Amino acid sequence: MKLISSLKSPYGRMARVVRLEKGLQNTAKYEVIKTRGKKNPYYNINPSGRVPSLILEDGTVLEDSSLICWYLDHIDGLPTLHPLDGRLGLEQRRIEAIARSMLDGISLWLREYLYRSPEIHSKAIIHHERERALRLATVFEKEVQSELLTGPINMAQITLACIFHGKLIDNLPGFSWKEERPHLCYWVERIGQNSSVNETAPS
């Protein structure tokens, strides 16, 4: 099996964290590629061009971090990172969905700087995504105190870690999430002590 991602993709990082958490380093080799561009050879593997993707032994290609994380966690028949059914499962899915919503917004915001020159930046998109991200950072200031986010590592924690831990959001103008959010700051520091999170942090 082969897990493909770019070096800095937060979605790819989620799959990489799960790979390490599940001890799949030898079963699922990790390959770094560059995305985008004309005639990128990666399009022959995954026509959507998105990372992460996971190539299975029979050649099947899985794309999308949620599907890949689900697959990697269930390979041994003993999933530890995904929620159980019932109320507690709903709670984990709820938190994970908010974190994913935040990550999707931040990705859009980052793309304004990564792929569009300053003269065509959309002030409306930047403003909208900054406000969304700040509102959700405030939500997480409260949520990180919950048992679900302080107990054994799970997909909700991994999703949140791939937003806040590392340098992904460091240079987003006006995203002062550390201000007045001491619980979130502490949580990020603590989750970073986990080797799977630490080792996958973008340099």
Ligand X SMILES: N[C@@H](CCC(=O)N[C@@H](CS)C(=O)NCC(=O)O)C(=O)O
Find the helix or strand (DSSP H, E) in which 51 lies.
Answer: none
For the bound state, the minimum distance from the C-beta of residue 145 to ligand X, rounded and expressed in Å, comes to: 27
- List the Cα angle 90/96/99 in 5-degree steps: 145
Contacts of 142 (CB under 8 A, 6+ apart): 183
8 A C-beta contact, residue 3 and residue 16:
yes
Q: Binding of ligand X at residue 65 (CB under 6 A)?
A: yes
Q: Binding of ligand X at residue 50 (CB under 6 A)?
A: yes
Please say which residue, 52 or 83, places its beta carbon nearer to ligand X. Answer: 52
Please say which residue, 11 or 177, places its beta carbon nearer to ligand X. Answer: 11
Q: Write out the binding residues for ligand X, residues 98-117 only, by CB under 6 A.
A: 107
> What 8-state DSSP symbol labels residue 3?
E
Q: Binding of ligand X at residue 64 (CB under 6 A)?
A: yes
Binding string to ligand X for residues 134 to 163, with x set by CB under 6 A, is what? Answer: ------------------------------
Q: 159 vs 10, 112, 121, CA distance in Å?
A: 9, 22, 27
Using the rule CB under 6 A, give the single segment among 6-14, 114-122, 149-157, 167-175 that binds ligand X: 6-14
> What 8-state DSSP symbol labels residue 80?
S
Q: How many residues bind ligand X (CB under 6 A)?
A: 13
